[in-house]
Amino acid sequence: MAAQSVVAAHTPSADPTPRTALVRAGKQLADGIKAEFGIDASFQHADVIKQSDIQAMIETIFEEWELLDYAANVAGIRKDGGDMKEDQSRVPRVLVDKHV
């Protein structure tokens, strides 16, 4: 079985325009992985603050492939929409508080 790649992303904006652009970019990335490396790849948008989105993503992964070789969590913390700098000591705490 060839390796698979799944890319998941979160867009907290209420405006669908950035989300649409992000989904389009994610699909293009998956297509590029397929073309360049000859492996199965897919993109699935998931809002990581919605348990239903996370569950749907997990179900899709295991329905399509039965296992997951690689995942990228590209969700971030950007309250002000500006500087991407973040106190790295907070990241594990935020991830654990949100997902465990």
- pLDDT tens digits, residue range 31-64? 998 899 888 888 887 777 788 888 888 888 888 8
- Global confidence as pTM: 0.50
If one compares 48 and 79, the residue with the highest pLDDT of the two is 48
Rounded Cα distance between 51 and 46, Å, is: 9
Tally of domains within the chain: 1
Per DSSP, the three-state class of 21 is helix
The answer to whether the Cα torsion of 37, 40, 43, 47 is positive or negative is negative
68 — pLDDT class (breaks 50, 70, 90):
confident
| Domain housing 54 | 4-99
